[in-house]
Chains A and B, each alone.
Chain A
């Protein structure tokens, strides 16, 4: 087995490399060799002590992935990704992490300060290696997590890493994993299916209203779940859950490519509210570096009268390719999508949603606010579809774009497909700049141009901010102001 030998060799060289940087911890030896092949997939699956069906599932995905081509239809432009030049499990920390906060990009620290993030958390977020303080913090929050777990346990809510769920609740995972985003869905989702590292698993039992907002922020191993996150949320009949993903602070990350998959399943009368604030590293002012965020998110309103609501604030990442969608399968089900996408510098955003009306009397609502500044490109791409049998499908779409500066672009690409005479679809979109009158009015009352812009932009996105949970909304508002810094004047 030449390939296996090669793998062994590669692992050896890697270990030597890691040693050079002073890393001999157990975790470090736990990484898969660079590159992607069936061995890597098996390696990941074995490391996670997964049952055979899941290993086969991954391998099947990998084989399919090999036959697929990377999609190029989105309005984003990036150099070709060499998939053999990436680590697919426990990305090595030894190469780029700063030792202390003093080594961290001062720009980043200033941003933390403005967001009001405590020092200990700053270190975690910046990826400082010798983080004695941070470790404490980690333990602190671990205990926090434990208290929460008890409360959740009382309600019967399951909230754990997906790798744990595979072992503890195999029948649930097996039943629902890949049932919304199938293995064959698209290039990045298939890649994720083959190599997904970790992610969250949530199950809300019938009739339970989840007693608190669930958030990945509380789950500290988040940092190692890395590039290929897989989230699976199941809301059983009559239940309710609100889930928060990400955090408002810009997070340092060596991983260039993020290909996550999120699957939501709402059964009869269930409701899922999924909020994301994404603020990954967008690259420097010259457009170098930054995260590629290629995410597949989809919710399935499987039961009658179910509801799924997506809210997203996208300010980070060099490239965003993301379309949180709703399949409105159950009769009277409802899908919502609220989005703020801000691009500055050299960022490229191609984001939107899909509302697929399949059941009777389904309704959906899309509110998308795009703001482009600097030399960025911001595209809304969305689809609203009514099946021939989707009697009385109803959709309202509003997508507005705001341009700040004359070197950026704002684009709108909606697809509206009605195959049923009782469908009622409305779509409106506008693109404009901040009106001089509004700016003048604010500045006349003593605001600086930048503050005035932030104020006006916050007004522009208010409809979406209102959908965010309260704590998040406040931070998101600050974040918007920070994201747009340097775009005026």
Chain B
């Protein structure tokens, strides 16, 4: 491969590494420098050329001061859930709710040692090198947390910033929890965040993510590990994303673990959303279901890259992946790459992908019953997208996502 042209953003990023950075942070940063910002020649970034998109990065976000907290507080509307708040990627206990009354839940500031060293991706390396001051949300073994916990990511700075949030959700053996993450950091700046989810044996987590406002260039990495018989149900609703890459690195590490990953992207304007999955069945007899749906209007660009990896020892694997796209305009585009990489023989794996437009017959059916064309479209889009929310166990989480979806469809039709 020919040498890449220098990218000024990389030089900016190099200045972010503090003089007193730890050896491991330096190591991660060196790894990032070596790989550079991924471009379209990097297979896993083929459809999201970050190198071309990110030519400059705004200054590094600092730990929030009183002024920043005041800015964030304005956006923090009263909510029904107990909240953990981050401002510019830093855990803000002053804005967060008091969890002392909830048995089995503990929130502490994260240290470097809390995260497993992960080097699967250049942007994850960059996050590991530069992230400071995230939190660890610990749910004790056996705890059944009935109340919904909300993680809110807000912006504090008045101007563009580069943010590197890095948080961990850890469920002990047999713990149950319901978590919704709300990402609302504003449309400006650069974001490279990482969320680690580690489920102990028999743990169960319902996790919903709503991307309400994402930075002009944002990368979200999820690093998930499931121990034996653990069960994760995860749904993401992506909307209004100028340039979003959401990547999942999942390891089904314990026998009999179950994973349900889903997402819906409602995109318009020139939005770009890329969901990339790397699901490794590292233990036998694990089940995974991945379902992602895209509604693309205007000049929106949707990307789905899914990969199920089954190593030789992971017999009895059951994996199914599905990607569906609804194109509402002639300028919208969807690129899908659902991959299977299978080295074990006693498996049942499959994937499907389908792209089409709204069904004329269904529209006609509704219109003959007096539903105006616009409404009929909304009904069909809503039904198409909301379908993925059903895999969540928690009614409360489903309601949050449904409300968001109808708000999205009501306020602005993506077409």
Which residues of A pack against B, CB within 8 Å?
Answer: 69, 73, 388, 401, 403-433
With both beta carbons as reference points, the residue of chain B lying nearest to A413 in the complex is identified as B339
Whether B353 contacts A427 by the Cβ 8 Å rule is yes
Chain A hits for B330, CB < 8 A: 388, 420-422
- 13 A–B contacts from the bound complex (CB under 8 Å): A406-B312, A406-B346, A411-B339, A411-B342, A414-B353, A416-B337, A417-B336, A425-B354, A427-B338, A429-B350, A431-B342, A431-B348, A431-B349
Whether A417 contacts B354 by the Cβ 8 Å rule is no
A417 and B341 alpha carbons, distance in the complex (Å)? 21
With both beta carbons as reference points, the residue of chain B lying nearest to A410 in the complex is identified as B342
Chain A hits for B328, CB < 8 A: 421
Write the nearest CB–CB distance from A289 to chain B, whole angstroms. 25
A417 and B356 alpha carbons, distance in the complex (Å)? 12
A88 and B43 alpha carbons, distance in the complex (Å)? 33
With both beta carbons as reference points, the residue of chain B lying nearest to A393 in the complex is identified as B355
Any A CB within 8 A of the CB of B16: no
Write the nearest CB–CB distance from B31 to chain A, whole angstroms. 21
Write the nearest CB–CB distance from B98 to chain A, whole angstroms. 49
Bitwise, B329-341 to A at CB < 8 A (1) or not (0) is 1111111111111
With both beta carbons as reference points, the residue of chain A lying nearest to B304 in the complex is identified as A416
Given contacts A388-B331, A406-B315, A407-B312, contact A429 B341 (CB under 8 A): no
With both beta carbons as reference points, the residue of chain A lying nearest to B301 in the complex is identified as A419
A388 and B357 alpha carbons, distance in the complex (Å)? 14
Among B342, B347, B354, find the residue whose CB has the most chain A CB atoms closer than 10 A: B342
Chain B hits for A429, CB < 8 A: 338, 340, 350-352
Interface residues of B in 289-338 (CB under 8 A from A): 312, 315, 325, 327-338
With both beta carbons as reference points, the residue of chain A lying nearest to B328 in the complex is identified as A421
Write the nearest CB–CB distance from A69 to chain B, whole angstroms. 7
Since A403-B347, A408-B345, A411-B341 are in contact, a sample of 13 more A-B pairs with Cβ atoms closer than 8 Å, ordered by chain A residue number, is A406-B344, A409-B341, A411-B340, A412-B340, A412-B351, A414-B337, A414-B338, A418-B327, A425-B354, A427-B351, A427-B352, A428-B350, A432-B347
Any A CB within 8 A of the CB of B343: yes
Q: Which of B1, B347, B355 contacts A425 (CB 8 A)?
A: B355
Write the nearest CB–CB distance from B114 to chain A, whole angstroms. 35
A43 and B353 alpha carbons, distance in the complex (Å)? 51
A327 and B332 alpha carbons, distance in the complex (Å)? 22
Given contacts A73-B43, A408-B345, contact A423 B339 (CB under 8 A): no
Chain A hits for B344, CB < 8 A: 403, 406
Whether A418 contacts B352 by the Cβ 8 Å rule is no
Chain B hits for A421, CB < 8 A: 327-330, 332, 357
Q: Which of A404, A423, A425, A432 contacts B353 (CB 8 A)?
A: A425
Whether B345 contacts A406 by the Cβ 8 Å rule is yes
A407 and B43 alpha carbons, distance in the complex (Å)? 26
Chain A hits for B348, CB < 8 A: 430-432
With both beta carbons as reference points, the residue of chain A lying nearest to B352 in the complex is identified as A428
Chain B hits for A405, CB < 8 A: 345
A73 and B327 alpha carbons, distance in the complex (Å)? 30
Chain A hits for B351, CB < 8 A: 412, 427-429
Given contacts A418-B334, A433-B347, contact A424 B340 (CB under 8 A): no
- Listed from nearest, the 10 A-B pairs whose CB atoms lie closest are A421-B327, A403-B345, A427-B353, A419-B333, A430-B350, A416-B336, A412-B340, A418-B355, A409-B343, A431-B349
With both beta carbons as reference points, the residue of chain B lying nearest to A409 in the complex is identified as B343
Chain A hits for B327, CB < 8 A: 418, 420-421, 423
A415 and B342 alpha carbons, distance in the complex (Å)? 18
A43 and B41 alpha carbons, distance in the complex (Å)? 37
Whether B340 contacts A431 by the Cβ 8 Å rule is yes
Chain B hits for A410, CB < 8 A: 340, 342
Whether B331 contacts A416 by the Cβ 8 Å rule is no
Among A406, A416, A420, A426, find the residue whose CB has the most chain B CB atoms closer than 10 A: A416
With both beta carbons as reference points, the residue of chain B lying nearest to A383 in the complex is identified as B337
A419 and B301 alpha carbons, distance in the complex (Å)? 9
Write the nearest CB–CB distance from A68 to chain B, whole angstroms. 11
Whether A418 contacts B345 by the Cβ 8 Å rule is no
Write the nearest CB–CB distance from A391 to chain B, whole angstroms. 9
Chain A hits for B339, CB < 8 A: 411-414
Given contacts A73-B43, A406-B345, A430-B349, contact A416 B355 (CB under 8 A): yes
Whether A426 contacts B354 by the Cβ 8 Å rule is yes
A426 and B355 alpha carbons, distance in the complex (Å)? 7
Write the nearest CB–CB distance from A363 to chain B, whole angstroms. 14
Chain A hits for B347, CB < 8 A: 403, 431-433
Chain B hits for A420, CB < 8 A: 327, 330, 333
Write the nearest CB–CB distance from B168 to chain A, whole angstroms. 32
Write the nearest CB–CB distance from A397 to chain B, whole angstroms. 8
Whether A416 contacts B340 by the Cβ 8 Å rule is no
Chain B hits for A416, CB < 8 A: 334-338, 353, 355
Q: Which of A417, A426, A433 contacts B333 (CB 8 A)?
A: A417
Chain B hits for A409, CB < 8 A: 341-343
Whether A404 contacts B352 by the Cβ 8 Å rule is no
With both beta carbons as reference points, the residue of chain A lying nearest to B415 in the complex is identified as A421
With both beta carbons as reference points, the residue of chain A lying nearest to B321 in the complex is identified as A429
Whether B350 contacts A431 by the Cβ 8 Å rule is yes
Chain A hits for B355, CB < 8 A: 416, 418, 423-425
A404 and B344 alpha carbons, distance in the complex (Å)? 10
A94 and B4 alpha carbons, distance in the complex (Å)? 47
With both beta carbons as reference points, the residue of chain B lying nearest to A422 in the complex is identified as B357
Write the nearest CB–CB distance from B298 to chain A, whole angstroms. 11
Chain B hits for A423, CB < 8 A: 327, 355-356
A414 and B350 alpha carbons, distance in the complex (Å)? 12
A485 and B112 alpha carbons, distance in the complex (Å)? 55
Write the nearest CB–CB distance from B47 to chain A, whole angstroms. 8
A410 and B333 alpha carbons, distance in the complex (Å)? 29
Whether A413 contacts B337 by the Cβ 8 Å rule is yes
A410 and B327 alpha carbons, distance in the complex (Å)? 32
Write the nearest CB–CB distance from A456 to chain B, whole angstroms. 14
Chain B hits for A69, CB < 8 A: 1
Chain B hits for A406, CB < 8 A: 312, 315, 344-346
Whether B333 contacts A418 by the Cβ 8 Å rule is yes
Write the nearest CB–CB distance from A460 to chain B, whole angstroms. 14
Chain A hits for B342, CB < 8 A: 401, 403, 409-411, 431
Whether B349 contacts A432 by the Cβ 8 Å rule is yes
Whether A425 contacts B341 by the Cβ 8 Å rule is no
Whether A415 contacts B345 by the Cβ 8 Å rule is no
A419 and B357 alpha carbons, distance in the complex (Å)? 12
Write the nearest CB–CB distance from A225 to chain B, whole angstroms. 34
Among A405, A430, A431, find the residue whose CB has the most chain B CB atoms closer than 10 A: A431
